[in-house]
Amino acid sequence: AQTVTQSQPEMSVQEAETVTLSCTYDTSESNYYLFWYKQPPSRQMILVIRQEAYKQQNATENRFSVNFQKAAKSFSLKISDSQLGDTAMYFCAFRSGYNNNDMRFGAGTRLTVKP
Amino acid sequence: KAGVTQTPRYLIKTRGQQVTLSCSPISGHRSVSWYQQTPGQGLQFLFEYFSETQRNKGNFPGRFSGRQFSNSRSEMNVSTLELGDSALYLCASSWDPDGADTQYFGPGTRLTVL
């Protein structure tokens, strides 16, 4: 069974600085998708970024980028120029590419951006 | 496009009662998944529906059930509520059931069981 591990329960960063959130996963599959979701205090889960396992290039979305290390089964999220609105819980998630439709989530990292 | 909507947003029930939660997916999305989020267990997959059929089910007791209608709207039902069922229930929709498609989440229904 696939598992997702986020080893940092809480992190903080100063506004405008850069922070990296860690995620590792365990799977025997070769075709899968990885996601980072953000859940602010409003509780609405918002997609931050996604990565297809077959793509070697790391995904980027504006200030958000990932470091995808397939062999190491690592999928970290880097937030550049942190903003107060980035304060939220961040969840790493794994989804199989073989029509197994449940998403496996990590326990989450609570990120606080300090002014 | 309007996002995923869930109703009601908040619900208070007592032990032994049953509850029905509703989810309307993004227009055109055919797959709806349900998740339970609790402080202790985190986010856990309940089930997924596609074209009115349950495609996948998580490890939850039979008290948890769901269905999907022809317009892709989905409901989940919890019977004989227990205190441990108190949670945020999230619904997510996607266009296609395979892993290539991103799931978009609704705001959730906060269920409190007293």
Residues 6+ apart with CB under 8 A from B63: B78, B79, B80
* Eight-state DSSP code of residue A63: T
Q: Does the distance separating the beta carbons of B45 and A102 come in below 8 Å?
A: yes
What would the mean pLDDT of B44-67 be, rounded to a whole number?
A: 92
pLDDT, chain B, mean: 92
**Residues B33, A102: C-beta atoms closer than 8 Å:** yes
Chain B CB contacts of A99 under 8 Å are 55, 97-99
**A99–B99 CB contact, under 8 Å:** yes
Angle value at C-alpha A100, between A97 and A102, nearest 5 degrees: 110
In whole angstroms, what separates CA A49 from the centre of its chain? 7
pLDDT tens sequence across A46-81 = 999 999 999 889 999 999 999 999 999 999 999 999
> Of the candidates B87, B103, B55, B70, which has an alpha carbon nearest to the alpha carbon of residue A43?
B87
